[in-house]
Amino acid sequence: MESKTNNNKGTRIHKHLKKVGIGIILIALLTGLIIKLLHIEMMPTQKAFFKAFTMNGFILGLLFVAFAKEKIEDEMIAQMRLKAMAQTFITAVFYVIVKPFIDLVFRDPIQDVTGQFLVLFMLLGYLLNYHSQKFNNK
């Protein structure tokens, strides 16, 4: 149900896509686990393909879960989403700034934060923040 007291309607996807997202995450995780546990011999190109498949599948699944509509998408939910997004964005900026210094102290050499990792970090951070707010407002 789309509440009329919610002005933020542009960034939501259909609620049924949440289940699709969970399915994609499970498939991606299972693929990654099977390859890792069975020690399947692969060419470097195949290995890169499955790594990309697992990571991108996980990201796509998280995207669906994060932005699928709630049963009742009202103004409080919109405010919680906005707060979670803002806090996650600020945390991600600080993470990118601080990470080279952590690398410098604990490991050598300094590694750049990849786009994939940053997106994954932000999606997980957003979900964690959003659901903790929802839990506190129950």
Q: Which is nearer to other proteins, 8 or 46 (CB)?
A: 8
72 near other proteins, rule: CB under 8 A: yes
Look up residue 80 and give its amino acid. M
Those residues with Cβ within 8 angstroms of residue 108's Cβ, 6 or more apart along the chain or in another chain: none
Are 61 and 24 spatial neighbours (Cβ–Cβ below 8 Å)?
yes
Q: Report in angstroms how near the CB of residue 78 gets to other proteins at its nearest.
A: 10
**Number of CB atoms found within 10 A of residue 54's CB:** 19
Using CB under 8 A, pick the residue from 37, 71, 106, 108 that binds other proteins: 71
Q: d(Cα 37, Cα 45) in Å, to the nearest integer?
A: 19
Q: Which is nearer to other proteins, 47 or 131 (CB)?
A: 131
Q: Which is nearer to other proteins, 7 or 45 (CB)?
A: 7
Summarize as ranges the residues that interact with other proteins (CB under 8 A): 1, 3-5, 70-72, 74-77, 79, 134, 136-138
